[in-house]
Amino acid sequence: MTDILQNKNKERGTKMSVEKYFALSGHPKCRSSIFEEGGPIVPITTMNQNFYKGCFYADAGWIMKPHKRDGLVKHESDELLMFVGSDTNNPENLNAEIEIQLENDILTLKETCFVFVPGGVAHGNIKVLSVDKPVFCYTCHLTSDSYTAVPGEATAAVGTYAGNAVYKYAPVDGKMPTAPEGFLTLLLWIDGKKLAGAPYTEAVWFNQRNETGPAEHDHDFDEIIAFFGSDPDNPDDLGGEIEFMIEGEKFTFTKSCLVYVPRGVDHSPIMVPKHSRPILHFSGGNGGDYKRSSGEF
């Protein structure tokens, strides 16, 4: 159990700064291990064991032009991929065409989506066939704080993973988030009810300032929470200001970032006191369903 969990019920004023949870774009410990400077994908920020031991491995960037990555690989960890179109006025349109192979199935992606890759599944042979507008891309390993891959071989029957791309914000129970009118554009939702074995993750655009919730709470799963600017030519710049509370301490930032929130750690509310252009926000965990251990919904 971490020091934070051991001291959860002690006076909050005695703890260290929560800055250690924020993988800000440009931080020297947050350099991509899979996206190369000057390549077809512009790296933004990375979270791994060098940043916070025991966290998720996560990497984010902007796909700027067509390219391909040949070969199949596999990981022990489950992996979640996300592709988001940059046209916030037409958010479901990827404005690109991407192919990715999962075992003996080839998924053709033309819309904003998640792709879930269970541990041990051979995947790859990624072909970015066209890019009319930049595409935000994200990869997250749910049970590892480092990127490790070994060669993979497709052995599953055709059709086994044909349905592993998930589109739209459509929870099985139909529950929608509460927020001020106009604040959110809903993008994506995935969980174990939507796709067996998949983790909880949801994605939205922040469209304006906001000085409300959600209320402080915690979870019985580790969570990753993200905020990214929408200008691919200036990926560090958030395009606004976020105030985020963790364990009662407010952290304010203006750069794109990934935030690691260990299980049991109180967090929220999230405030947006400044906003100049849409901000991509998503959150997810290594649990199959979204639940709060404490705090009001």
| CA 231 vs CA 99, 137, 212, 240, 255: distances in Å | 24, 14, 25, 12, 12
How many angstroms separate the CA atoms of 63 and 50, rounded? 25
Structural domains of the chain, ranges and CATH numbers in brackets: 17-285 (2.60.120.10)
Digit-coded pLDDT (tens) for 229-275: 999 999 999 999 999 989 889 999 999 999 999 888 888 889 999 99
Give the DSSP H/E element, type plus range, for residue 190: strand 184-190
pLDDT at 16: 56
Digit-coded pLDDT (tens) for 191-216: 999 999 999 999 999 999 998 878 88
* 266 vs 16 pLDDT, higher one: 266
| Mean model confidence pLDDT for the chain | 90
Residue 289: which residues within 8 A CB-CB, separation 6 or more?
A: 191, 192, 193, 200
Digit-coded pLDDT (tens) for 103-153: 999 999 999 999 999 999 999 999 999 999 999 999 999 899 999 999 999
